[in-house]
Structure 1
Amino acid sequence: MLSPSAPRAPLTPPIKRGRSVLRAYLSLTKTRIIEQLLVITVPAMFLAGRRAGDGTLPSVGLLVATLVGGAVAAASAHALNCVADADIDAKMKRTQARPLARDQVPRTHALIFGLALGLVSAVWLGLTTNWLASVLSVAAIAFYVLVYTLLLKRRTAQNIVWGGAAGCMPVVIGWAAVTGRVDWPALVMFGVIFFWTPPHFWALAMRYRDDYAAAGVPMLPVVASPVQVSRRIVAYSWLMALWSLLLVPVTSWVYLGVAVVTGGWFVVMAHRLHAHVREGGTAAKPMRLFHLSNTYLCVLFITIAVDAALGLPALGLPF
C-alpha cells in the first residue's frame, strides 16, 4: 500500500475526459438557478400544508419527491434553452463558457439529454406526488422553451416579462403537490415572482447591454434608453411590493412586517437607481439592484416558510 505521503498517480486521459464531459452536462442544467427555484418551492409547500391542506407541514418524503422532480424539470428546461440559444451564447461574453458555445457537447446529445430529463421529471412527479404537479411541470418546461426561448426572446423587448412566467411555476407546482389543486395563495406567490422578474433581469441586462446587443437579443436596455428602463424597473418594483401584501390574509404579522420592510427597501433602491440613471455618470450601478433582488426573494420566501412552520395565526381577510 502507498504511504499517506506518497504522490498520487496522475489521472488517466479517459478519466479526465469523463469528468470533463460530466461537468459539461451538469453545466447545461444551470445548477445555480435551480437552487433559487428550490428556495421558493419549499415555502409554497409549507404554506399549502398549513393553510390549504390538513393544517400540518408536508412530509419529508413529499418535500424530497417534489424538490427532486422540480430540480430535474428545471434542468430539462435549462438544457433545452442552451440548445436553442447556442448561437447567441457564443456571441455573449457572459455566456461564452457554456458547453454548447464551446462545442463541448454535441447539440443533438444535449437535445436528447434535455428531453430525457423532462420525461423523467414528469413521470417522477406523477408517481410520487400527483399528476397535476406533473402536468404543471411539463407546461413550465414547454412555456420556457417554446414561448420564451423560441418565440419571444429574439423578437420583443417584453420577452422577459411574459417569458418569465415559467420561472414562477415552482410555487404552483409545490402547492399542487401538497393539495392536488391550485388555490389563490399559490397565484399570489406566482404574481410576486412575475413582477419581480423584470427588475431582476433588466438590472442584469443594463450591465450586459453590449452583450445582448452583439447577440441581437432585444432586451429592453438594448432598445430603450437607460431612463426608460429604470422607470419601468421602478414601476414593476412597486407592483411586486404591493402584490406581496395580498398574501397577508393567510400569513401572520411576521410575514406582514418582513414584506413591508423588504418591499419598501427594494422600492427605495429601485428609485435610487432611477435617480442615478437620470443624473448620468457612473453612480448608477444596476448590479446592486440585481443582487438585492436575489436577497429580497430569498428573504421573503424564507419568511413564508418560517411563518408556516411556526403555525402562527393568520391575520385573515379584512372583511
Structure 2
Amino acid sequence: MRVSTSVPADVAGADPTGASALPVPRAVQLRARLGASLRAYVALTKPRVIELLLVTTVPTMVLAAHGWPSWWLLVATLTGGAGAAAAANVLNCVIDRDIDQVMHRTSGRPLVTGAVTPRAALVFGFALTVLSLAWLALVVNPVSALLAGAAILIYVVGYTMLLKRRTPQNIVWGGIAGCVPVLIGWSAVTGSVGWAPLLLFGVVFFWTPPHYWPLSMKFRRDYAAAGVPMLPVVADDRKVVREMVGYTAAMIACSVALGPVGGLGWVYLASAVGLGAWFGWSVLMLLRRADDPSRGPLRAIGVFHRSITYLTALSVAIVLDVLLPF
C-alpha cells in the first residue's frame, strides 16, 4: 500500500490553488504597505546621485582639515548635504514627472507609477529643504547652509525649470549644483571658501558634460520623445564628443593645478596625471569612432562608467595623499 505524505489542504490552510488561503494578518499587510511607501519615497531622492555627490565632499573636508576632520563634523556635514541633495532631487521629480512618464528609463519612478502623489512629494521635498538647511545652519555653520540653499535653487529653478527644456547646454550650467558639495565640505571645516575648493569645483564642473552626455547619447530617443534638447539630441556624435574632449582637457588641467595650490604631494599628482591620461584617452578613442564609424559602434556608455571611476579614484587619491605619512 502506498501512503500519502502530503499535508491535507484544510490542515495547511490552503488548497493548491490558493482558493481557501488564510487571510493575511492586518499587521503584515500594514508593514508591507509601509515598506513599499518608504521605498517609493527613498527612490524619489535618487540615492545613487546623492552617493556620487557625497564622494567629493569627504576628500574636500580632509584636504581642508589637513587630516581627518572630527567624526561629528563629518557626519553632520554629510547628513545635511545628503538632505539638501535629496530635497533637490524630489522637487526635480515633481517638476519633471511629465518627462519621466514619456522616457522609458524613468517610467518606473514613483510619481509616474502613482506610488506617491505629486502633492505628497512636493510636501516631502519642501520638508527636506527646510530640515536640511536648518540642520546645516545650526549644526555645521551658516556658510554651508547658504551654499546648500544655492545648490537647491540652481538645480530646481535654474536647471529643471529654466534650462533643461530650453537649451542643449542645460547640463553644463545646471551641473553647477553638483559642484557645490565641494564648497560645502570646505566651508564646513574652515567657514570660508578658498582657491583649492574652487579648483575642485572646476574639476567637477568640467567633468559633468563628459560624464552625462554619454548617458544622453544612449537614451537620446527618450530625450527626443520627451522634447528635452540634450546636446546629443540636437547635434551629431562628432560635435558632442569634440565638446567632451574640450571639457575633459579643462578638467585634467584643474585636477593637476589642485596639487600645488592645495599643498598636495606626489601621491595625488601622480594619480591626477595617470587618471587624467586614462580617462582622456577613452574620450579620444570615442572621438576616433565618432569621426570614423567604420571603427565600430560608438559605445559611449563605457565613458559614462569610466567617468564615475575617475572621480571616485581622484577623491581617494586626495585622502591618501593627505593621510599617508610620506
Q: Same fold (TM over 0.5)?
A: yes
Task: Please show how residues 263-274 of structure 1 align to structure 2 within 5 Å.
Answer: 263-274=276-287
**Are 2:71 and 1:60 aligned?**
yes
Report the CA distance between 1:28 and its aligned residue: 0.3
Output the amino acid matched with 2:297.
A
- Structure 2 residues not aligned, in runs of 5+: 1-11, 14-22
- Comparing both chains, which one has the higher relative contact order based on Cα–Cα distances under 8 Å and sequence gaps of 6 or more? 1
Report the CA distance between 1:311 and its aligned residue: 5.6
Task: Please show how residues 90-169 of structure 1 align to structure 2 within 5 Å.
Answer: 90-169=101-180
2:306 corresponds in structure 1 to: 292
2:61 corresponds in structure 1 to: 45
Output the amino acid matched with 2:37.
V
Alpha-carbon distance in 2 for matches of 1:95, 1:79: 14
Report the CA distance between 1:70 and its aligned residue: 0.6
1:316 corresponds in structure 2 to: none
Report the CA distance between 1:13 and its aligned residue: 2.5
Alpha-carbon distance in 2 for matches of 1:277, 1:139: 37
- Structure 1 residues not aligned, in runs of 5+: 1-5, 51-55, 313-319
Q: Which deviations, in whole Å up to 9, do the C-alpha atoms of 1:84-106 show, x marking residues without a partner?
A: 10000011011111111112111
Report the CA distance between 1:57 and its aligned residue: 2.8
- SS for the counterpart of 1:218 is coil
Alpha-carbon distance in 2 for matches of 1:45, 1:311: 18
Report the CA distance between 1:283 and its aligned residue: 2.4
Output the amino acid matched with 1:233.
M
1:75 corresponds in structure 2 to: 86
**Are 2:241 and 1:230 aligned?**
yes
The match for 1:220 among 198, 211, 231 is 231
Output the amino acid matched with 2:36.
S
Alpha-carbon distance in 2 for matches of 1:20, 1:74: 22
The match for 1:18 among 21, 26, 34 is 34
Alpha-carbon distance in 1 for matches of 2:48, 2:264: 29
Q: Which deviations, in whole Å up to 9, do the C-alpha atoms of 1:236-295 show, x marking residues without a partner?
A: 111111121110112101110000000011111001011112222642100100000000
Alpha-carbon distance in 1 for matches of 2:226, 2:115: 20
Report the CA distance between 1:175 and its aligned residue: 0.2
Report the CA distance between 1:208 and its aligned residue: 0.6
Output the amino acid matched with 1:30.
K
2:317 corresponds in structure 1 to: 303
Q: Which deviations, in whole Å up to 9, do the C-alpha atoms of 1:117-144 show, x marking residues without a partner?
A: 0111111111111110011111101110
1:174 corresponds in structure 2 to: 185
Alpha-carbon distance in 1 for matches of 2:293, 2:30: 54
Give the TM-score of the pair, scaled to structure 1.
0.92
- SS for the counterpart of 2:106 is coil
- SS for the counterpart of 1:94 is helix
Output the amino acid matched with 2:206.
F
Alpha-carbon distance in 2 for matches of 1:232, 1:131: 37
1:276 corresponds in structure 2 to: 289
- SS for the counterpart of 1:19 is helix
**Are 2:253 and 1:242 aligned?**
yes
- SS for the counterpart of 1:101 is helix
Report the CA distance between 1:309 and its aligned residue: 1.9
Quickly say closer, same or farther: Cα 1:17–1:235, change in 2 above 3 A.
same
1:256 corresponds in structure 2 to: 269
